[in-house]
Structure 1
Amino acid sequence: MSNFAVKRPWTGRLGSLLGIMVMALSLRTAVSVVPPLLGELRPELGFDAGTIGLLAMLPPLIFAVFGLLTPALIRRFGLERVLVAAVVLAVAGQLVRAASDHVWPFLGWSAVVMAGYGIGNVVLPPLVKKYFPDRVGVVTAGYVTLLAVGTAVSPQLAVPVAGLSNWRVSIGMWAAVSLVVLLPWAAQALRDRRGSRLADDSGHSSPAAVGRPGVSGAVQKLVPWRSPVAWGLAIFLAGNSAQTYVYFTWLPPYLSGQGVDAATAGSALAYFAILGLPVSLLVPLWVPRMKNPIIAIGVFAVCWSAGHLGLYLSPMHGTWLWVTFSGLGQGTFATALLMVNLRSRTTHGSSVLSGFSQGVGYAGAGIAPLFFGTIHDATGSWTASFAMLGACLLVMLAGAVMINPRRYIEDSAADAPAAVTEGTPAAKTE
């Protein structure tokens, strides 16, 4: 059986691989498709400044809530069933909100969509851990890259599709991508069930289960609140996501206020999003080979710093250079997702670490765009707002220091001694 895993590493797992990739592609489309269409939504549904602000805050806040709830759901129902529930929520929410005729139902069903994707955020890392413990780096590189693709593509297509049809089609069509997620998982479930029957008849493990931790054995009770690794990753993700959400919310209006024309300001945001693609592909292939991941994080932190300073000191001159630096800084997000599996030994540990870090992290990041704007309104200057970005960068680096040592969330299990009761020690990654 060990030879199977070495010589034919993808056999029996192609369905789960496709399911992970399509889920990643769909995770941000429903979020990023709406802002370009607000010009049409505003008069038809009754959006105002307050409800637009609420719409901007929904993703990180809902992601935070379901980040904290999802590990308990996974423990009770299993990864695959929770994934299916997440997809159903996302599909239903997207279709019904596209048919909404008023702002409040639209916001309510948007919250349902975010709940589905908030669960999906947490489920993806442990799915990689469960099905591909021997290919964590490669699979993470693929899904983080597709996550960035979905983030960049849906706003680019939003207005053209609405022009050919209407905004309802432009928003609702992404439900089809989410629905496709169910197909490969259904195929994988049938294959696993067939493999389980063969295993029961022969007394041997099925190929689909080779190399996958968590297939059997008791599960440790993990208390992330007591884990320095969990707190470190949560702090790291909070500092990173705060900067990213500020850029997605404020980069176009900030540049427009500094004299950059609206079209260029919008293109700058699209360029910022697109720059997430190369670093998303690079990080999971590079960082696992490093003894001290904080070195890579330091490089990305320098990029963030250069971008922040350039946009503050000289927004009209060198605009594209500054946005390039900040865009490359997004490698810290890919690093955060990767560290979920590099700092856990088991599938259960990965799900707990993923849920806690994303729950606490997104809760902290969700208020950053609001503070960035209100600080400017209160002071009449962008100085304090950009100083806040600097503080977020320091918070991120503090978390990086905590997750740099090679230790695992299972090390702080409340009731577990030395033994690891699920799976095997941390698998070699690529």
Structure 2
Amino acid sequence: MSTSPMVLEPAVAVAPAVRGRARGTFLVLAAMLLVALNLRTSITSVGSLLTEVRDGLQLSGLMAGVVTTMPTIAFAVFGAFTPVLVRRFAAPRVLIGAMAALVIGQALRVATGSAMVFVITGALALSGIAIGNVLMPMLVKQHFPERTGLITGMYSVSMSIGATIGAAATVPIAHAFGSWRAGLGVWAILALAAIPLWLPAALRRRSAAPVPAVPGAKITARVRPGATRLGWAMAIFFGAQSLSGYATMGWLPTLFRDAGFSPENAGVLLGVLSVVGVPMGLIMPSLAARLRRLHGLILVLASLMIVAYLGMMLAPRAGAYLWVVVLSVGQSAFPLALTVLGLRARTPEGTVALSAFAQSIGYLFAALGPLLVGYFYGLTGTWTVPMLFLAAVAVLQATAGLAIARPRFVEDEQG
């Protein structure tokens, strides 16, 4: 009795296709993680060498203040234009343009002796980061709609690793080459490395019509989150958690130094905040994606932040490490927010619109954090009012968070 070879042919034909899809998925994920690695290095590297940059370029106090507040302003301004770019060009092409802006901006700013040119080229670099910030949730929705939590967690951790590397390695690199310019300029190479991985996708012709990422989704010509309650709730939630994050990153070492810690130990405490945040960046998105309703999770995170702020106000020295760990867990509201951006839109187009709106409004709000904490601290000379202010922001975060906690979609709320 003979066996027909026809039975085996489909398996032989399908295997290469399956392997090809798996290889393509892996390359997309690798490309996304490499982009994410670049989304904070340019910022933390400048912070590490700010004194040297001020001396080298003779920056005034005002210009130094512009340099430190520019990231949040740039994220707000340039991120708002990302949906317009995505409507005109394929997302991979936009991302290549963003990484090119990051490469050119970082390279040019270390080649100038002008403070103004340094600021302008820095803004160019930040424009690339802002576009990348907005595009990442869309890319997750587009390529990994069934694994939103896992992939968001992975790129969130990649961002944290990039931030840590930028902060830790910049000064040693600058010392090794004898110049702060080398310490900042080296990160242009990392951004350049992200471009080739996106070239194959950028060279492919764009599909004729967008495909819904959620079954039953309606394709709309334009998604306007600013006309929806969900869009504004998302923006306030994102802004509140970002305000707290930037304020604590800027002022926590000063608080602990005032409590009697040495500058080195105050820096270690800030490092603990970052280190604890890395695993939370992976855990929180996966947890959020599995839960149908997020009310309890949002309230727990806000409560932890409030406990930490009150603890740092009342016992900053005795419980320093405990408060930092508690605060870091509470501030995992950031990867939670990134995850919710993808969960509250039906389509990639809706995701990029919601991401752009929430991040633009949110980062404008966040820019006030370091300024207001510094103002309250200078006005009172103590940390009581600044910590109460941040606790109040955590309450606002929880209130806005409850409005985005149940399943709903931004496309459905448009009139």
**TM-score normalised over the length of structure 1:** 0.87
Give the whole-Å Cα distance in 2 for the aligned partners of 1:377 and 1:238: 24
1:311 aligns with 2:312: yes
| More displaced 10-residue stretch of structure 1: 384-393 or 218-227 | 218-227
Report how far residue 218 of structure 1 moved: 5.6
Give the whole-Å Cα distance in 2 for the aligned partners of 1:186 and 1:211: 24
Q: Which amino acid aligns with 1:171?
A: L
Report how far residue 12 of structure 1 moved: 2.7
1:76 aligns with 2:88: yes
Give the whole-Å Cα distance in 2 for the aligned partners of 1:394 and 1:306: 12
Report how far residue 254 of structure 1 moved: 2.2
Give the whole-Å Cα distance in 1 for the aligned partners of 2:212 and 2:235: 28
Q: 1:212 to 1:176 in 2, by over 3 A?
A: farther
The aligned counterpart of 1:45 is: 57
Say how many residue pairs are matched: 397
Give the whole-Å Cα distance in 1 for the aligned partners of 2:308 and 2:113: 40
Report how far residue 221 of structure 1 moved: 1.9
Match of 1:183 among 196, 211, 226: 196
Q: Give per-residue Cα distances to partners, 1:306-333, cap 9 Å, x unaligned.
A: 2211211111212111111111122100
Q: Give per-residue Cα distances to partners, 1:315-354, cap 9 Å, x unaligned.
A: 1212111111111122100000000110000010000000
The aligned counterpart of 2:145 is: 133
1:273 aligns with 2:274: yes
State the SS of the aligned residue for 1:34: helix
The aligned counterpart of 1:123 is: 135
The aligned counterpart of 2:106 is: 94
Report how far residue 299 of structure 1 moved: 2.2
Q: Which amino acid aligns with 1:51?
A: M
Give the whole-Å Cα distance in 2 for the aligned partners of 1:131 and 1:359: 24
Report how far residue 118 of structure 1 moved: 0.6
Match of 1:24 among 36, 52, 61: 36
Report how far residue 148 of structure 1 moved: 0.9
The aligned counterpart of 1:427 is: none
Q: Which amino acid aligns with 1:312?
A: M
Give the whole-Å Cα distance in 1 for the aligned partners of 2:358 and 2:151: 20
Match of 1:173 among 186, 191, 195: 186
1:152 aligns with 2:164: yes
The aligned counterpart of 1:246 is: 247
Give the whole-Å Cα distance in 1 for the aligned partners of 2:64 and 2:269: 21
Match runs of 1:25-424 below 5 Å = 25-165=37-177, 166-189=179-202, 192=204, 219-414=220-415
Give the whole-Å Cα distance in 2 for the aligned partners of 1:317 and 1:272: 17
Give the whole-Å Cα distance in 1 for the aligned partners of 2:412 and 2:22: 31
Give the whole-Å Cα distance in 2 for the aligned partners of 1:138 and 1:379: 44
The aligned counterpart of 1:421 is: none
Q: 1:49 to 1:311 in 2, by over 3 A?
A: farther
Contact 2:212 2:348 in 1 (8 A): no
Report how far residue 101 of structure 1 moved: 1.6
Segments of 5+ residues of structure 2 without an aligned counterpart are 1-13
Report how far residue 219 of structure 1 moved: 3.8
The aligned counterpart of 2:5 is: none
Q: Give per-residue Cα distances to partners, 1:391-422, cap 9 Å, x unaligned.
A: 210111111011012110000234xxxxxxxx
Contact 1:24 1:146 in 2 (8 A): yes
State the SS of the aligned residue for 2:80: helix
Q: Give per-residue Cα distances to partners, 1:366-403, cap 9 Å, x unaligned.
A: 11110110122123332221121012101111110110
Q: Which amino acid aligns with 1:359?
A: S
Q: Which amino acid aligns with 2:275?
A: I
Contact 1:130 1:213 in 2 (8 A): no
Give the whole-Å Cα distance in 1 for the aligned partners of 2:220 and 2:116: 42
Report how far residue 78 of structure 1 moved: 2.6
Contact 1:56 1:249 in 2 (8 A): no
State the SS of the aligned residue for 2:371: helix
Identity %: 33
State the SS of the aligned residue for 1:10: helix
Report how far residue 212 of structure 1 moved: 6.4
CA RMSD of aligned residues (A): 2.5
Report how far residue 213 of structure 1 moved: 7.8
Give the whole-Å Cα distance in 2 for the aligned partners of 1:175 and 1:128: 25
Give the whole-Å Cα distance in 2 for the aligned partners of 1:224 and 1:212: 18
Contact 2:219 2:347 in 1 (8 A): no
Report how far residue 80 of structure 1 moved: 1.6
Q: Which amino acid aligns with 1:18?
A: A
Compare CA radii of gyration and give the structure with the larger one: 2
Give the whole-Å Cα distance in 2 for the aligned partners of 1:330 and 1:97: 32
Give the whole-Å Cα distance in 2 for the aligned partners of 1:49 and 1:306: 34
Report how far residue 11 of structure 1 moved: 4.1
Give the whole-Å Cα distance in 2 for the aligned partners of 1:375 and 1:51: 22
Give the whole-Å Cα distance in 2 for the aligned partners of 1:49 and 1:256: 22
Q: Which amino acid aligns with 2:182?
A: V
Contact 2:32 2:155 in 1 (8 A): yes
Q: Give per-residue Cα distances to partners, 1:195-230, cap 9 Å, x unaligned.
A: 98xxx9xxxx9xxx999689xx96432221121111
